[in-house]
Amino acid sequence: MANTPELSDRPRILVVGGGYVGLYVAMKLQNKVKAHGGVVTVVDPLPYMTYQPFLPEVAGGKIEPRHVTVSHRTHLDNAELITGRVSAVDHANRKAVVVPTDGEPFELGYTDVVMAAGSITKTFPIPGLADEGIGLKSIEEAVALRNKVLERVETASMMSDPAARRRALTFVVVGGGFAGIETITELEDLVRAAVAKTSRVEQDEIRFVMVEAMGRIMPEVTEEQAVWVVEHMRSRGIEVLLNTSLGKAENGKLELTNMPEKTPGETFETDTLVWTAGVQANPMVHSTDFPIEPRGRVRVGTDLRITGDDGPIEGAWAAGDVAAVPDVTGGLPDGTCVPNAQHAVRQAKLLASNIYATRYGVGQVGEYEHKNLGAVAGFGTGKGVAKVLGVQLKGLPAWVAHRGYHGMAMPTFERKFRVAGDWFANLLFKRDITQIADLETPRRGFVEAATPKPKAAAK
């Protein structure tokens, strides 16, 4: 174990993860804790928080990628920031092992710890998935997906081989939840706009396929709304395959399976496979001495303190996707909160208040209780579905509700303003279909220019 780098020796509140929960907890506590002579330390591999509900719009070319991130350095100027990850927590000794992005692991002591490591993409051992698929949990994935889709349309426009052309113009999304539906509809709008700008590709050559293992999509909305969404997608030419799972994805060849019979289904080829079929708690929690429930999340009480068989654990807190927070209003079948931004932001604010009350005796410890306000989803400009406080919306009203809710939920006024500016620009100038080429090989042009060229033979 390396020596600890030069960090504050003040009483420390360690925040593991700088996502939605970690960002809000740190923003709420940084000045208060500093005034009491302590410090809030945030450890995250990324120097920013990502507002994930906007990733489909980033992939679809409607929001500038950086605008859906919130810089830790900008908004946590009174916190201690470490770019790296926490690989283990020994709460019995109040120590965590930190692995910096560049450097050797070191131990870091603390007085309180906040487990806010969030969730990661949930996958299954499907042959070829790791090689062929791409998720949509990060800003980098959204940008890469957008560029790949536009590149495939442009490249296909010059292809003469029918099979290769068909493969390039086939786009598949696995997962019929909110993320999957919003992603495939935004991409369909993006491709439609791109095709309209080229005379070498026809719209009827484009194939979009949604694969969902269950018999319905979007369990957050009513059955009636779910049926309408399927009809809406099919009216746009999107194939919706319910009761269908992905069996194989080797070398771009997809083999589907009919559910629940598990009989062989359709087989076809694609260059673009997007996986949005669920999330799971960050597995780093298994490298702690905290109690873990069957779904892999840290056990917590309604006051957001980590709770074992003998009651709350002093100095240990958790919230968000990584925590099994009891939902006293009725959430998941196991009685815990649904992993979404709506719960995360409210839990983060209460958690910060409860830590401050417990550690410094200011205020009262509260219990988390929040009835889900509903769900909103956007399917491209002017299109969407929503259930808000029991009221069912679809089409333009649902799209307005989607914009309104997420515009308000985006952290910090600065980022709200930037996202609103992107939306306004799109209304004036329409969707941006610019592909950023060579994003993964930015030095290619320089290397080619700097490489000596062979001299032409003398005649």
Task: Report the CATH number that the domain containing residue 81 is assigned in CATH.
Answer: 3.50.50.60
Residue 141 token pair: 């994935």
- Examine the domain organization and report whether 301 and 205 are in the same domain: no
Pick from 329, 358, 387: which residue ends a domain?
358
* Residue-number span of the structural domain to which 140 is assigned: 127-275
- Examine the domain organization and report whether 265 and 156 are in the same domain: yes
**Domain assignment present for 317:** yes
| Rounded Cα distance, 355 and 114, in Å | 9
| Rounded Cα distance, 233 and 242, in Å | 13
Task: Kindly report the pTM of this predicted structure.
Answer: 0.92
Domain count, the chain: 2
**Domain assignment present for 433:** no
Contact partners, residue 278, CB within 8 Å, separation at least 6? 121, 122, 175, 177
Question: Digits of tens for pLDDT over the chain (459 positions)?
Answer: 666 677 878 899 999 999 999 999 999 999 999 999 999 999 999 999 999 999 999 999 999 999 999 999 999 999 999 999 999 999 999 999 999 998 899 999 999 999 999 999 999 999 999 999 999 999 999 999 999 999 999 999 999 999 999 999 999 999 999 999 999 999 999 999 999 999 999 999 999 999 999 999 988 788 999 999 999 999 999 999 999 999 999 999 999 999 999 999 999 999 999 999 988 999 999 999 999 999 999 999 999 999 999 999 999 999 999 999 998 887 677 889 888 888 898 999 999 999 999 999 998 999 999 877 778 999 988 999 998 878 899 999 999 999 999 999 999 999 999 999 999 998 888 888 888 888 888 898 899 999 988 876 665
Pick from 275, 304, 338: which residue ends a domain?
275
- CA-to-CA dists, residue 380 to 170, 189, 385, angstroms: 19, 7, 11
- Examine the domain organization and report whether 112 and 145 are in the same domain: no
| Rounded Cα distance, 437 and 400, in Å | 33
**Domain assignment present for 3:** no
Pick from 226, 241, 275: which residue ends a domain?
275
- Examine the domain organization and report whether 138 and 31 are in the same domain: no
